[in-house]
Amino acid sequence: MSKTTTGEQTPAAPDDQGVGAAGSHMSTAPVETLANVSGLGVIGWARWFWRQLTSMRVALLLLLLVALGAIPGSLIPQSGSDETKVADFRKAHETLAPIYDRLGLFHVYSSVWFSAIYILLFVSLIGCIVPRTWQFVGQLRGRPPGAPRRLTRLPAYTVWRTEAEPEEVREAALALLKKRRFRAHLTGDAVAAEKGYLREVGNLAFHTALIVLLVAFAWGQLFKSEGNKLLVEGNGGFSNTLISYDDFKSGNLFDVDDLNPFSFTLNKFTGTYEVSGPNRGTPRVYQAAITYSEGAYGKDKKTVVEVNHPLEIGDAKVYLTAHGYAPLVTVRDGKGNVVFQDAVPLLPLDSNVTSSGVIKVLDGYKNARGVSEQLGISAFFLPTYTPGSETASTFPALGNPVLNLTPYHGDLGVNSGIPQSVYQLDKSHMKGFKDSKGAQLRENLKPGETMKLPNGAGSVTYEGTREWANFQIVQEPGSGWALVGAFTAIFGLAASLFIQRRRVWVRAVKGADGVTVVEMAGLGRSESAKVPEELGELAAILYDQAPGAPDPGSSDSPDLQVVPAEGAEKQ
Amino acid sequence: MTLAAATNENLANISNTLIYSSMAVYTLAFFAYIAEWLLGSRSKVGRTAAALTDARKAGAPAVTVQKAGGTAVLERPKVVVRSATGARDVPDGPGAHGGDEQGDLYGRIAISLTVLAFLVELGGVVARAASVERAPWGNMYEFNITFSTVAVGVYLGLLALKKNIRWLGLFLITTVLLDLGLAVTVLYTASDQLVPALHSYWLYIHVSTAIFCGAVFYVGAVATILYLFKDSYENKLATGGKPGKFANSFLDRLPSSASLDKFAYRVNAAVFPLWTFTIIAGAIWAGDAWGRYWGWDPKETWSFITWVGYACYLHARATAGWKGRKAAYLAMLAFACWLFNYYGVNIFVSGKHSYAGV
Ligand code: HEM
């Protein structure tokens, strides 16, 4: 006989309690055994280790460890979510950083030790679920255990005397319990019944769902792809191939062929902002109107992508993640030929979208002497310029846009082979244009205004402003499974926590004086007020069918009136 | 200023007035609870002590329970209930009033005042919601006032269900006052609309369940703390120790440690599935808003830690050697994680969740 270790029902000394085997097997929780390991062979040790790993105690410890292990990741910058913060941290803590590196504290959730904890936990979980499932199947195939010898010892108990015959009472009890959807059967002089098996089903479903959840999550990480694309209003489009991305990350098992074929263009970005109050400048409307088509030759469709409403195409999702301004700039050479005309996306620097970037004229430009050169123009942009605040915009919308330009000429160095950011200017081979006083030329332009480059070197015109939007394109297979796992977990948990598993026994035997004594007792998985209540209800119904006989009056202890049938326990 | 904006401002002011008024009424209720405890005497005989010494003499007493609602009780068989072996058979204390009539009167006054304060505060929360034309969960101020309203609501709801939890009143109202004080002084934010990232119906689902779970976990945590005190008190008595006068007067009036433990367990276990759902709803929302379901953002991480904490607690109760006090410590730890997730992460750690303004 095995001892249960769950619930408050643990019979300290089962036989003394008289509850015996009937009180156990109410749960499929693993048995806590302290096996004697001295003198065991390799197999013995392995078995011992396995038993430890799949014991409740170790599961508890591993759970605690997972919780503890997750903490540092929330307090130390993580390279997975914010590289720049990690870099700042490294600079600020020069002695600590290498130690952290060693311990993998900059990527806790993919570190060796964190993985070790949760893998152990999940091995333990599997090692726990499998035997528990078999055990439970066994319980389902078997029948509720027969009545303990002394029902008085059970947490809920009642007794009365009746004129009805014991057989009648047992029949009535069996019918009643079956009607109440107990699994009930007659053994010896008593009816044994059990209900609430769904609790165990729920518990097993919950733990299994956790595994599904983890596997789905891991699957998603392995096959995930994620990239960004910046699009300017009415200017170019995106098609879902590797070369179209500005940047791209993917999981270890991702294959380029996994990318869903689709394409889209940005028609218009709309952003409005709070104009007054303490939250002035906080975005209110923030949406991108796009035209997209699915497949290689799909029909054009229009839609709006908003912050909480990504566009879903197959298992790919298109998110709107950022927005900024792209001044439309025309550059002419000394002869007045247009050598560059484009909307140049600038990077926002603050919440009022003060932006900066570079206009790069790579070819086609000839200087005043007719020599081919490249132009690089540092651009600084304030969507709302307020006199007095020269270097920072005062509002994120296009209130009073000003484009500040600082032109250079020479060699941009884009052919040097070193990858270059489109937002930065490498001035090592560039010379600044000088103004009439000999200082670096620098000018503020309003829309429509033109800056003349000195000595007939041409001109730069700020034609107007377009907006750009950044899209994140994410493809993460397995999320459907994760969702299924998650909801199974919730329902399993609810069943496991809210359903009571309980047993009821009804014994009817002839007492010494020839009057039938009916004894009823109930036992729950955990101590609960519901068990006695339900027993009371059942007893009341049964009492109507087997009404009480006059009390012999002598004794007030029900214990003494019961003479258990000989051999009842053996049945 | 437009007419609509003026209306909103008005509503916001009304909300503030209501919140301050509710604080005033809670304060009155607080004093009434104090009066209940002070005037209420502990029962003439120390019940716990008596039960524990009796138990040693005469074996476990059987408590007789009759199913309520039957007039024909006499006709029906009585159900005898006995507790599990090993458990102390200690009757529940009489409650704060300790059987004293005057104390009981003050207790009732305290409950009435609590109901009044709750209604006023609820009005404040609703006015706030109306003024911002959205659910009142956009920042910590709003979160705090909603949280305390829900916590008191849970308490009153349990009372209405005739659960034996009047003893919780003083502890609950004390912390509600602290919570509101913090809200109106440190955390106050003028009413305003949400940033677009917070515009989603998942906000309603995720945040409302989070607040509700927090409120219920909180009630569970208070019961757990009291359990720990009562348990040591009973232990002391059972081993023949002499607890101090204060413990005698105060702890004796609380329900027995077994009842407190069971109550705390029920409360925590009942919301655990909802807390699981809250995290999942949050993940779904994050999937829509940020392009990933789970990114170990500090708020996500701490929700996870809290979840695992409560899972530990539930496991502990099912593990030999971990029941009782050890499990209770785990429950406290889990609740501490919840608190840290709410205050600590918003204030000390920056992450995607903190843009709603402290
Ligand atoms: C991934 C980690 C795990 C989590 C989050 C988890 C969570 C839970 C929760 C919340 C319960 C409460 C449900 C109830 O009381 O009926 C529970 C019960 C249970 N868990 Fe786990 N569990 C995990 C791993 C394990 C492992 C590894 C084992 C095996 C040793 C295990 C065995 C059990 C058992 C036997 C119960 C039922 C306890 C009872 O009979 O009351 N769990 N688990």
Query: Which atom of ligand 1 approaches the CA of A54 most closely?
Result: 30
Tell me if A150 is assigned to some domain.
yes
Chain A residues in contact with B305 (beta carbon < 8 A): 67, 70-71, 74
Q: Name the residue type at position A542.
A: L
- The whole-angstrom separation of Cα A80 and Cα A65 is 22
- The whole-angstrom separation of Cα B104 and Cα B321 is 40
Do A414 and A551 share a domain, yes or no? no
Cα B88 to ligand 1 centre (Å): 27
Mutate to test the interface with A, among B1, B85, B206 (most CBs of A within 10 A): B85
Do A458 and A377 share a domain, yes or no? yes
Least confident of A62-76, A88-102, B48-62, B197-211: B48-62
pLDDT computed for residue A34 by the predictor:
53
Are the C-beta atoms of residues B121 and B22 closer than 8 Å to each other?
A: yes
Tell me if A233 is assigned to some domain.
no
Chain B residues in contact with A56 (beta carbon < 8 A): 315, 318-320
Cα B239 to ligand 1 centre (Å): 34
Rounded mean pLDDT of A503-522?
89
Closest-CA residue in chain B for A472? B291
pLDDT computed for residue B122 by the predictor:
94
Rounded mean pLDDT of A140-154?
87
Rounded mean pLDDT of B210-220?
92
- pLDDT of A426 above 90: no
Chain A residues in contact with B273 (beta carbon < 8 A): 490, 493-494, 497
Cα B281 to ligand 1 centre (Å): 22
- The whole-angstrom separation of Cα A558 and Cα B64 is 13
- The whole-angstrom separation of Cα B135 and Cα B137 is 6
Tell me if A138 is assigned to some domain.
yes
The model's pLDDT over A350-361, given as tens digits with 9 standing for 90+, comes to: 888 899 999 999
Which of A103, A129, A144 is the last residue in one of the domains? A144
Cα B276 to ligand 1 centre (Å): 14
Tell me if A378 is assigned to some domain.
yes
Total count of domains within chain A: 3
pLDDT computed for residue B319 by the predictor:
79
Query: Which atom of ligand 1 approaches the CA of A118 most closely?
Result: 1
Looking at per-residue confidence, does B193 or A241 come out higher? Answer: A241
Phi, psi (deg, nearest 5) at residue A152: -60, -25
Q: Taking CB atoms and an 8 Å limit, are A558 and B320 in contact across chains?
A: no
Nearest to A157 among B76, B79, B291 (CB): B79
- pLDDT of B2 above 50: no
Q: Taking CB atoms and an 8 Å limit, are A156 and B321 in contact across chains?
A: no
- The whole-angstrom separation of Cα A203 and Cα A211 is 13
Q: Taking CB atoms and an 8 Å limit, are B280 and A67 in contact across chains?
A: no
Tell me if A44 is assigned to some domain.
yes
Do A342 and A436 share a domain, yes or no? yes
pLDDT computed for residue A488 by the predictor:
96
Residue numbers of B between 228 and 287 with CB closer than 8 Å to A = 262, 269-270, 272-273, 276-277, 280, 283-285, 287
Tell me if A110 is assigned to some domain.
yes
Rounded mean pLDDT of A32-49?
69
CATH number of the domain at A518, please.
3.30.310.80
| Largest Cα–Cα separation, chain B | 80
Tell me if A205 is assigned to some domain.
no
Interchain CB contact of B205 with A (< 8 Å):
no
Query: DSSP 3-state assignment of A154?
Result: coil
Interchain CB contact of A535 with B (< 8 Å):
yes
pLDDT computed for residue A11 by the predictor:
38
Residue numbers of B between 16 and 35 with CB closer than 8 Å to A = none
The model's pLDDT over A264-285, given as tens digits with 9 standing for 90+, comes to: 999 999 988 877 766 677 777 8
pLDDT confidence tier of residue A2, bands split at 50, 70 and 90: very low
- pLDDT of B57 above 90: no
Beta bridge mates, A372: A366
Do A132 and A178 share a domain, yes or no? no
- The whole-angstrom separation of Cα B248 and Cα B48 is 9
A10 C-beta neighbours (distance < 10 Å), count: 17
Cα B312 to ligand 1 centre (Å): 8
Do A435 and A336 share a domain, yes or no? yes
Chain A residues in contact with B302 (beta carbon < 8 A): 74
Query: Which atom of ligand 1 approaches the CA of A7 most closely?
Result: 41
Average pLDDT, chain B: 80
Q: Atom 24 in ligand 1: which residue has the minimum CA distance? A: A125
Nearest to B272 among A57, A109, A493 (CB): A493
Tell me if A4 is assigned to some domain.
yes
Query: Which atom of ligand 1 approaches the CA of A128 most closely?
Result: 29
- pLDDT of B323 above 60: yes
Do A414 and A513 share a domain, yes or no? no
Nearest to B85 among A11, A67, A286 (CB): A11
pLDDT computed for residue B198 by the predictor:
60
Mutate to test the interface with B, among A109, A273, A307, A481 (most CBs of B within 10 A): A307
Cα B315 to ligand 1 centre (Å): 6
Chain B residues in contact with A153 (beta carbon < 8 A): 82
pLDDT computed for residue A253 by the predictor:
86
pLDDT computed for residue B196 by the predictor:
57
Are the C-beta atoms of residues A166 and A189 closer than 8 Å to each other?
A: yes
Interchain CB contact of B67 with A (< 8 Å):
yes
Looking at per-residue confidence, does B130 or B332 come out higher? Answer: B332
Cα A130 to ligand 1 centre (Å): 13
Q: Atom 38 in ligand 1: which residue has the minimum CA distance? A: B318
Residue pointed to by tokens 């469709």: A301
Rounded mean pLDDT of B211-226?
93
Domain that holds residue A344: 324-465
Average pLDDT, chain A: 83
- The whole-angstrom separation of Cα B39 and Cα B89 is 28
DSSP one-letter code for A235: B
Q: Which positions ≥6 away from B273 have C-beta within 8 Å?
A: A490, A493, A494, A497
- The whole-angstrom separation of Cα B291 and Cα A233 is 22
pLDDT confidence tier of residue A24, bands split at 50, 70 and 90: low
Query: Which atom of ligand 1 approaches the CA of A496 most closely?
Result: 16
H or E stretch covering A475: strand A458-475
Looking at per-residue confidence, does A207 or B348 come out higher? Answer: A207
Chain B residues in contact with A282 (beta carbon < 8 A): 192-193, 195
- The whole-angstrom separation of Cα A130 and Cα A54 is 10
Do A338 and A411 share a domain, yes or no? yes
Rounded mean pLDDT of A81-91?
81
pLDDT computed for residue B187 by the predictor:
77
pLDDT computed for residue A351 by the predictor:
81
Q: Atom 34 in ligand 1: which residue has the minimum CA distance? A: A29
Q: Name the residue type at position B206.
A: H
Residue numbers of B between 142 and 181 with CB closer than 8 Å to A = none
ipTM of the complex: 0.84
- The whole-angstrom separation of Cα B73 and Cα A235 is 84
Are the C-beta atoms of residues A183 and A144 closer than 8 Å to each other?
A: yes
What DSSP assignment string belongs to B301-327? HHHHHHHHHHHHHHHHHTSTTTTTHHH
Least confident of A43-57, A282-296, A407-421, A555-569: A555-569
Do A340 and A408 share a domain, yes or no? yes
Q: Taking CB atoms and an 8 Å limit, are A74 and B301 in contact across chains?
A: yes
pLDDT computed for residue B56 by the predictor:
44
Please calculate the CA angle A416-A418-A422 and round it to the nearest 5 degrees.
100
Distance of CA B229 to the CA centre of its chain: 17
Least confident of B32-46, B167-181, B237-251: B32-46
Cα B333 to ligand 1 centre (Å): 18
- pLDDT of A63 above 80: yes
Do A398 and A437 share a domain, yes or no? yes
Query: Which atom of ligand 1 approaches the CA of B317 most closely?
Result: 41
Burial annotation A258-292 (CB, 10 A radius, 16+ → b, else e): bbebbbbbbeebebebbeeeebebbbeebbbebeb
Closest-CA residue in chain A for B66? A536
DSSP one-letter code for A146: P
Residue numbers of A between 36 and 95 with CB closer than 8 Å to B = 56-57, 59-60, 63-64, 66-67, 70-71, 73-75, 78, 80-81
Most confident segment among A435-439, B140-144, B306-310: B306-310
Query: Which atom of ligand 1 approaches the CA of A30 most closely?
Result: 35
Share of chain A above pLDDT 70, in %: 88
Phi, psi (deg, nearest 5) at residue B314: -65, -40
Share of chain B above pLDDT 90, in %: 34
Cα B311 to ligand 1 centre (Å): 7
pLDDT confidence tier of residue A417, bands split at 50, 70 and 90: low
Q: Which of B314, B322, B330 to mutate to test the pocket of ligand 1 (most atoms within 8 A of CB)?
A: B314
Q: Which positions ≥6 away from A119 have C-beta within 8 Å?
A: none
Interchain CB contact of A27 with B (< 8 Å):
yes
Q: Atom 12 in ligand 1: which residue has the minimum CA distance? A: B314
DSSP one-letter code for B341: I
- The whole-angstrom separation of Cα B23 and Cα B38 is 22
Least confident of A10-14, A278-282, A322-326, B79-83: A10-14
pLDDT computed for residue B5 by the predictor:
57
Looking at per-residue confidence, does B83 or B110 come out higher? Answer: B110
Q: Taking CB atoms and an 8 Å limit, are A532 and B272 in contact across chains?
A: no
Which of A416, A441, A465 is the last residue in one of the domains? A465
Do A522 and A509 share a domain, yes or no? yes
- The whole-angstrom separation of Cα B50 and Cα B55 is 8
Give me B13's structure tokens.
């002011």
Q: How many Cβ pairs within 8 Å bridge chains A and B? A: 193
Do A154 and A20 share a domain, yes or no? yes
Do A110 and A88 share a domain, yes or no? yes
Rounded mean pLDDT of A289-299?
86
